[in-house]
Structure 1
Amino acid sequence: MTVVIIGGSGSLGAESVRQATAAGHPTAAAYTTKPANASEAAWHPLDLPDSKRVDAVLAEAGPHRVVNASSGRAEWTITAQGPVRPAMAAAKAAAKTGVLLVHPQAVVARTSLIIGDGRCEHERIVHELAAGNRDRVLFTDGIRCPVHVADPAAALLELAPRDTTGIHRLAGPHAYGAVRD
């Protein structure tokens, strides 16, 4: 099963690349600024809003499954519009309707607070708050179920070859309320 991982140099993407290549899957990974250190994958520069480039990368790689592990933070064209093309997405809530509209056979994987490799912005903030080096509220808008980066990466690869469709929540087993200073 050939896998393309968009956002392959980010936290979830790099872990997905690591697990896919370790499982022996031919893997292509896309990045915006620089590839990660996984030499087992074929790396492709990609800007998600560039639909012609997305099509070219997918045509070259010939994937059976596409995992979109990109993180557009607050940029609408990456977070909401970018995931509409790939067949499997780990995108923000704004993208799920578009992905399923364009690809009704897709899996939309919604993740919670991803932690575990020290690269996640939220994880760094928590460590700074705990050490007293930062005066800030982490979040106030709900409940988070932190999940180690290896778990959603494994779940994405597990969901990929199945005839599963729709929205799936990939979260940790414990729910936490707002972290305040």
Structure 2
Amino acid sequence: MATSLSIPSSFKCKFDECLLGFRARIEENFQGEFLNGFVDDVDQENIRGAEDQIVADSASAEGRTVITNDTDFLYGIQSKYGIIILWGGFNMEDGNWKCFRNMNSTDKFEAIQVLFQDQNCVGEMQRVHSQGSQKIAVLSASKDENGALVRPWTWKIRDPTDEERLKWMAKKEIKDMKKRGAQT
């Protein structure tokens, strides 16, 4: 089920290595809704494993918004056409938390597909692209009266809160310290 845009969206994006394996299926499912080649990934350019700024520079050179689930992209990484961090999750029927980062490939693909189907999200992604801003897309799900998950899941694109930024910055600093320690 694709969006009902009257003309193909000019939005273009680059998936980083956190989202490998989805490019071809997403592009195939949205033929006619977006321009051909609207999505690529770091494997196509042989920059898998490259520093985040290199990925952002590559996306900028191609007029693409970076889409990732790596919160490190919020800190010091510049991209002319913006960055969208895929985040969030929901409580499963059994009460366990299912976050986007840890979803299996099938569920992650479904979630990404929902993002591109939602006209409001597509509009927000186009705004991120035109403004070169940094946003997070937060995945959520509702439950019916019996506690079963209702599909499709939903996304909301917004600014990260100060609390989220502080939490992710602390994680990045710990990761950076470990990285520096491993290099000495």
Give the number of the structure whose residues are more often helix, by fraction: 2
The TM-score with structure 1 as length reference comes to 0.42
TM, length-normalised to structure 2: 0.41
